[in-house]
Structures are given as C-alpha cells and as structure tokens.
C-alpha cells in the first residue's frame, strides 16, 4: 500500500501547532506529542483508497499550510508490501506537487479507460477530463 506520511520537523509541538494539526486528525494531544518526539508520522493518507477524493482535498489544505510555513511538516511517500520493511522517500514540496500531478494523470487514464469500456465514449478523443477536484 502506498501512502503519504507527514512528520513533524520539530520534536516538541507548540500549542498552536497542535491546534492546527487537530484540524486534520482525531489523534489526541498526548499522541501527537509522543509521535513528534519519536519521529513517527503525525498524519497518513493512503493513495487511491476509498476516501481518496476527501484525502486529496485534505492533503491540498495541508500543502498550503506547509508552504506558508504554518505547519513545519516533512512529506514522505511510503510504500509498504507485506513481509518487507516499508520504503519511505522524503519529498520536497516540488517533488510532492509533481507526484500529485502524476497521480491525477493516472486517475484520468483510469477514468477514460472505464468510460471506453462502459461505452460512454467511443474513442479517447471524446474523453473530457474530470475536474481538478475529481481526479
């Protein structure tokens, strides 16, 4: 399973930072503090899971807060395969945006293939891409 993980750049979370993080998670204050202190992910969003549309909207809100400097979080892409240790890659903000764009392109390809298969369109030229918030 692939996911995006967000870790704190700081080992001690301020009250303001906890308040902002609580807008994105149901984790309690002590759990957030413990995870930050040990370098564990504070937030995790599986890629293309059942709630991907909602996750993507949340991720975009997070990204805006990270870019503004309000949330000092590091972004990782994680790939976990049963029986193997997880592989994580630290992403720059630009790298993260590129990865999100790649995922959008994959979603559009899948949507077009599904529309072709179901007969909604007869050729790829007829395909009208989904809106940004839908793919």
The confidence score (pLDDT) of residue 127 equals 84
- The answer, yes or no, to whether residue 103 has pLDDT greater than 70, is yes
pLDDT confidence tier of residue 122, bands split at 50, 70 and 90: confident
- CA gap 18, 71 in Å, rounded: 10
- CA gap 100, 65 in Å, rounded: 16
Q: Are strands 43-46 and 73-79 parallel, antiparallel or unpaired?
A: unpaired
Average pLDDT of the chain, as a whole number: 91
Q: Is residue 104 classed as helix, strand or coil in its secondary structure?
A: helix
pLDDT tens digits for range 6-65: 999 999 999 999 999 999 999 999 999 999 999 999 999 999 888 888 999 999 999 999
Structure tokens belonging to residue 64: 């805006």
Query: Could you tell me the residue ranges of all domains in the chain?
Result: 2-91, 92-135
100-109 average pLDDT score = 90
**CA-to-CA separations, 47 to 11, 92, 113, 122, in angstroms, rounded:** 26, 18, 19, 29
- The answer, yes or no, to whether residue 134 has pLDDT greater than 70, is no
- CA gap 113, 121 in Å, rounded: 9
- CA gap 108, 62 in Å, rounded: 23
């Amino acid at each position: 399973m692939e996911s995006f993980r967000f870790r704190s750049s700081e080992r001690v979370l301020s009250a303001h930072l906890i308040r902002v993080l609580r807008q994105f998670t149901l984790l309690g204050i002590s759990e957030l503090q413990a995870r930050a202190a040990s370098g564990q992910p504070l937030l995790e969003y599986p890629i293309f899971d059942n709630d991907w549309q909602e996750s993507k909207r949340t991720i975009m809100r997070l990204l805006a807060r990270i870019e503004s400097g309000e949330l000092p979080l590091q972004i990782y892409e994680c790939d976990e395969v049963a029986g193997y240790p997880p592989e994580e890659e630290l992403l720059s903000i630009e790298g993260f945006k590129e990865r999100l764009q790649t995922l959008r392109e994959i979603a559009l390809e899948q949507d077009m293939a599904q529309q072709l298969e179901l007969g909604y369109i007869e050729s790829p030229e007829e395909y009208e891409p989904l809106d940004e918030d839908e793919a």
